[in-house]
Amino acid sequence: MKVKNICCIGAGYVGGPTMAIIAQKSPEINVTVVDINEKRIAAWNDPDVEKIPIYEPGLAEVVAEARGRNLFFSTDVDAAIDAADMIFISVNTPTKTYGMGKGMAADLKYIELCARQIARVAKNDKIIVEKSTLPVRTAEALKRILDNTGNGVNFQILSNPEFLAEGTAVTDLHKPDRVLIGGDLDTEAGREAIQALVDVYGHWVSDDNILTTNVWSSELSKLTANAFLAQRVSSINAMSELCEVTEADVQEVAKAIGMDSRIGPKFLKASVGFGGSCFQKDILNLVYIAKSFGLNEVADYWEQVILMNDHQKRRFAAKIVKTLFNTVSGKKIALLGWAFKKDTNDTRESAAIYVADYLLNEQAEIVVYDPKVTKEQILADLDYLGTRSEEENRKLITVVNSAQEACKAAHAVAVMTEWDAFKTLDWEAIYEGMLKPAFLFDGRRLLDKEALTALGFEFYAIGS
C-alpha cells in the first residue's frame, strides 16, 4: 500500500522535526502533526517561522517550505487520526514520578491514552508507528488496547525509533546513519506495513541504510544505543577525574584512545555531565526492565552510568565551592549556558540545573545567561526540583541577556553549555569587570586555557 495521509500525535522535539522532514521529502503525502497543547500548535503555526517552538538549525527553513503545502499542525486529534493511514505516536514518555517503578520505569500513560483514542476514532485499517522511545514489549500492550477497544479494524504496529540528536536534528534526519523499522516479519500484513514505512523513508534514504527487524529488537536497540552513548560519556568523565589528580589530560587521552578504530573518536568529550531527555530516562528504564526480569547484575552494570553522571555534576559544583575558599555564600556566580548542549533550547536534565541547585544550597547568588533559553524555563526547571520555594528561587536567581552582563562583578564564571559564541567573548573585558581573584570554571573544555590564564583568570577545566 502507498501511504497518502500521515498523522503524528505529539508536536515535540521528536515529532515536530521528524514530520517536517518527511513532509519536505514526500510532497505527495499529507502530514498532520497534532498535539493537545494549544500553545505549542499555535507556535508551530506562527506566521513568523522563526517563532516555531523548537530551535534547531535549519528547521525553520524546512517548515517554511512544507507548511501549508503538505505539512499541517493542528489540535484536532480525532480528525487527523480519522484521515490517516499511518499514525506516528510521538508523545512524551517521562520517567514515572509516582507509584510502581517510581523514578525508574517509563510512564506510559500518554501512550496508552493515544492508543485508546486511536481505537475509539479509527474506522478503517491503520498502521501505528511507535516513534517515542519505549520499553521493550510496549508494542504488545499497544496492540492489546487497539485490538480490544477498537471498532473491529486492523492495526499493524511498527517500531521506528528516532535516533536524531538535538541541535543537529535536521542533518541527522536528512542523512541518518540508519533508519530502523521493527515489525511483524512473520505475516504478509506485517511485511506490507513495514514496506509502506520503508517507502516513506525511501524518498530520501537509500535501501542500504534502512534496517528491518522484529519489533522487540527494534525497541531494545533504541535503549541500547542510548545506553552505549551515555556510557561513553560516563567512561570519559570517570577518566577526567583521574586526569585531574595525575598529570594526564583527558583531551589527550581521548584523542589517543579514539584513534583506535575499535573505539573511534566520537562521543569522548569530557563534560560537566550528560543531560537531555533521553540518556538518563532510557538507562533508568533499561535498569528497571533488567530488574523486573531478575537480572540484577545487568541492572547494576548500567546503573553505574547514571551514578557516575550524578557524581560528575556534583563534583563540578563542589570544585567551585572548594576553590572559592570553601564558601560561596552571598557570592555572585555566573553560569554561561543552561541548555543541555549547544544549538538547542531544550533544558531537560541539563547539568546546569543541578549545578545551580547545588550552589543555591550553598547560598550563592546565581546569574544565568543562555542565548536560547528563556527566563521562565530556567525558573521552571529549578522549581521542578522542589528544593526550595518558588519565591526563593526568584530571589536567588537572575537571568540576563548577555554573557558580559552575567559576569559583571562576579566572583566566578562557569561554562555549562558549549555554545560557540562563548569562545569569542571579550574575555579581557569580562576579566576586568570581575572580582579578583577571577575564577573561571570550564565545564565543557571549550576555552583556551593558556590565553585565559595569561589574561589573569584562575582557570579550571574538567579533566586537566
CA distances from 130 to 79, 89, 97, 173, 232 (A): 20, 5, 22, 17, 27
The listed partner (ligand UDX, ligand ADP, none) that binds 150, CB under 5 to 8 Å by sort, is none
Which region among 78-86, 263-271, 389-397, 425-433 touches ligand UDX (by CB under 6 A)? 263-271
Nearer to ligand ADP, 136 or 253 (CB): 136
The listed partner (ligand ADP, ligand UDX, none) that binds 62, CB under 5 to 8 Å by sort, is none
Please report how close the Cβ of residue 133 comes to ligand ADP at its closest, in angstroms: 8
The listed partner (ligand UDX, ligand ADP, none) that binds 166, CB under 5 to 8 Å by sort, is ligand UDX
Q: Of the listed 7, 114, 278, 407, which one is catalytic?
A: 278
Question: Should residue 35 be labelled a site residue for ligand UDX when binding is judged by CB under 6 A?
Answer: no
Which region among 85-93, 175-183, 264-272, 397-405 touches ligand UDX (by CB under 6 A)? 264-272
Q: Per the structure block, which three cell numbers stand in for 369?
A: 545567561
Q: In the set 56, 107, 130, 166, which binds ligand UDX (CB under 6 A)?
A: 166
User: Site residues (CB under 6 A) for ligand ADP?
Assistant: 9-15, 34-37, 40, 77, 90-92, 110, 113-114, 132, 277
Question: Should residue 340 be labelled a site residue for ligand UDX when binding is judged by CB under 6 A?
Answer: yes
Q: In the set 67, 269, 411, 445, which binds ligand UDX (CB under 6 A)?
A: 269
Q: Is 32 annotated as a binding residue?
A: no
Q: Is 402 annotated as a binding residue?
A: no
- Give yes or no: 278 in active site: yes
The listed partner (ligand UDX, ligand ADP, none) that binds 275, CB under 5 to 8 Å by sort, is ligand UDX
Question: Should residue 463 be labelled a site residue for ligand UDX when binding is judged by CB under 6 A?
Answer: no
Please report how close the Cβ of residue 281 comes to ligand ADP at its closest, in angstroms: 10
Nearer to ligand ADP, 325 or 384 (CB): 384
Which region among 50-58, 145-153, 196-204, 269-277 touches ligand UDX (by CB under 6 A)? 269-277
- Active-site residues, by number, are 278
Summarize the annotated binding site for substrate as residue ranges: 162-166, 222-226, 262, 269-275, 340-341, 444
Summarize the annotated binding site for NAD(+) as residue ranges: 10-15, 35, 40, 91-95, 132-133, 166, 278-281, 348
Summarize the annotated binding site as residue ranges: 10-15, 35, 40, 91-95, 132-133, 162-166, 222-226, 262, 269-275, 278-281, 340-341, 348, 444
